Structure 1
């Protein structure tokens, strides 16, 4: 449990009580009451009048990150996407090769600590550096309360040492062997697709991945394939804007499949889900409820995690905001305020 606010109430018999306005279930219905937590799980939601202005919601799941490049924040301004991140000689890859193991671990620890303070319970990491890269992020996360779902890259050994395989893109290499091995291991396989143009989307979808990342440039038949296969998509709007590749057709994607939200490369954007939600909600014609779902349960579902919702039986990975902060006082639409207005300064505590 982290945060600067008062401790949650002790309900006796090992219970913890969180009171306030609760954003309940998959539709985030605001209800007044308390969340009863027992042994790290949500045991009950009691709807009744309570004192206080706290807002209780699921902690975030950041569905796509590259936190290894925390070593070089804001490097490479003005470069194209290929110049920035294309393997093997994009700027990030050169910087990663130049950095020591200690430097990379320390930088990732700082990013993970920020994510924890900013209400992120878990993230799905595409980890460069093969097996060594997997070991580095595991070391970075040892004492930080954020769950890293690590998808190794570079070899089948990296996949076996991690939680799955995170492929760069079907135009970069043939990933048939990696996909087959990941499937046999029962692990996650994700792949970038449609970030610069549509040329790699069909080949990526032919791999039958657990999810796709970006999908900025799908053609109509790609949208049909998404719907038929029910393949989830992770979108990263701030990253796509910075790299000038365009923006995903988010309303079209939401009509067809599960869509989650990610912050992508740390050297381009802060790994703040508050910032990603606000940007997404204000840029696209989608509801605040849809955006909050993208930032929580959608990513949890992709990663196979039991968090992302406030409902009995879910893990108690919860975020408590101060609804009486200078920023949030006077809120009329709680979900809209959480998505479009709230920030790290409004976090009272993160419950894990």
Structure 2
């Protein structure tokens, strides 16, 4: 199957105008380039790009949507934050599956093909529901001083637990993650050192309060995730992303109860914040945070390149001008999504 589109974003988001992608019967890309003739299914006036990654999202807490009337620790702090009481009750009564399905469908409608989900409870249910709705899910089950029966674990903060317990988590589990330096209190308590040394976490989320020296010391093997809207709402400060660019940070939307899990909204916010802060982040960098850098770090979503499974998103092309990357980062919303292209299937959004 050959697919033609007005624009392609291939490999490391290189722009190809009047492009064509060839996909074999197994749904693998076998050719990418400029259209020079021949039979092709014409997708029309669209940008064919990688699907989006939401690299940090709490989905079960949608049950307490827009409950933002408490201090951050009273809302989400382990073990007594309001979130834990609400979510535990929801799961115990088996009312979480319809909610998970609704959130997954909503995220799919934003063009999300991959999600890194923090599950306070019921990680396997989260994984199953999301994959059933077409989203590849890397799920982390929260450890509450115990040892969950799940291969990936996270802790709300390393300062909540003894050092020996953090080391044992690292020894037992394939992937380990944590929030780190989200609040000034946790940063001052030394949570980054605990994260890198005792826990040796694979995925570090937030990093709002890191210093230049601390950012430079984070090993390049680590995956870091920033959540600009959530950090602005909760702690009035955004992670110093220019200090983290060497780590190719990923973009997440954080708690569904607080933020709509919409990566387009996150990109718009970050683009505006970068301009106001004088950071000068480029549109390609911002779009990479929500797409191809996720492939480098977590193997999802795949880029559009030879040898990779075809999992793309067709977005209506710019209605004016030719600044494609800027248009995607500043202007696109779910209303502009046309179709998912998965293997040899073209699925309307």
Mapped to 1, the partners of 2:164 and 2:116 lie a distance apart of 22
Native 8 Å contact 2:50 2:311 kept in 1:
yes
Does 1:108 find its partner at 2:100? Answer: yes
Aligned residues: 324
Mapped to 1, the partners of 2:322 and 2:6 lie a distance apart of 15
Native 8 Å contact 2:169 2:176 kept in 1:
no
Specify the alignment match of 2:138 in structure 1.
Answer: 149
Does 1:276 find its partner at 2:243? Answer: no
Deviations 1:222-256 (A, max 9, x none): 11212x454231000011111124111111111x3
RMSD: 2.1
Q: List alignment gaps of at least 5 residues for structure 1.
A: 1-14
Does 1:212 find its partner at 2:199? Answer: no
Does 1:321 find its partner at 2:315? Answer: yes
Cα drift, residue 313 of structure 1: 1.5
Q: How does 1:335-346 map to 2 (within 5 A)?
A: 335-346=325-336
Change in 2 beyond 3 A, CA 1:201/1:299: same
Does 1:138 find its partner at 2:124? Answer: no
Mapped to 2, the partners of 1:29 and 1:225 lie a distance apart of 34
Mapped to 2, the partners of 1:313 and 1:183 lie a distance apart of 34
Mapped to 1, the partners of 2:326 and 2:171 lie a distance apart of 39
Change in 2 beyond 3 A, CA 1:229/1:33: closer
Q: List alignment gaps of at least 5 residues for structure 2.
A: 275-279, 343-349
Native 8 Å contact 1:19 1:33 kept in 2:
yes
Specify the alignment match of 1:128 in structure 2.
Answer: 120
Q: SS state of the match for residue 74, structure 1?
A: coil
Specify the alignment match of 1:55 in structure 2.
Answer: 47
Specify the alignment match of 1:241 in structure 2.
Answer: 232
Per mean C-alpha deviation after superposition, the further-off stretch among 193-202 and 49-58 is 49-58
Mapped to 1, the partners of 2:319 and 2:126 lie a distance apart of 38
Native 8 Å contact 1:195 1:245 kept in 2:
no
Mapped to 1, the partners of 2:20 and 2:226 lie a distance apart of 33
Mapped to 1, the partners of 2:294 and 2:62 lie a distance apart of 22
Q: How does 1:301-312 map to 2 (within 5 A)?
A: 301-305=296-300, 307-312=301-306
Native 8 Å contact 2:212 2:243 kept in 1:
no
Change in 2 beyond 3 A, CA 1:264/1:17: same
Does 1:167 find its partner at 2:155? Answer: yes
Does 1:44 find its partner at 2:31? Answer: yes
Q: SS state of the match for residue 99, structure 1?
A: helix
Native 8 Å contact 1:28 1:289 kept in 2:
no
Specify the alignment match of 1:250 in structure 2.
Answer: 241
TM-score, normalisation: structure 1: 0.85
Change in 2 beyond 3 A, CA 1:175/1:74: farther
Does 1:292 find its partner at 2:282? Answer: no
TM-score, normalisation: structure 2: 0.86
Change in 2 beyond 3 A, CA 1:178/1:137: farther
Q: SS state of the match for residue 159, structure 2?
A: coil
Native 8 Å contact 2:179 2:204 kept in 1:
yes
Q: SS state of the match for residue 31, structure 2?
A: strand
Specify the alignment match of 1:7 in structure 2.
Answer: none
Mapped to 1, the partners of 2:213 and 2:132 lie a distance apart of 45
Native 8 Å contact 1:117 1:350 kept in 2:
no
Cα drift, residue 346 of structure 1: 0.3
Mapped to 1, the partners of 2:105 and 2:30 lie a distance apart of 28
Native 8 Å contact 2:21 2:33 kept in 1:
yes
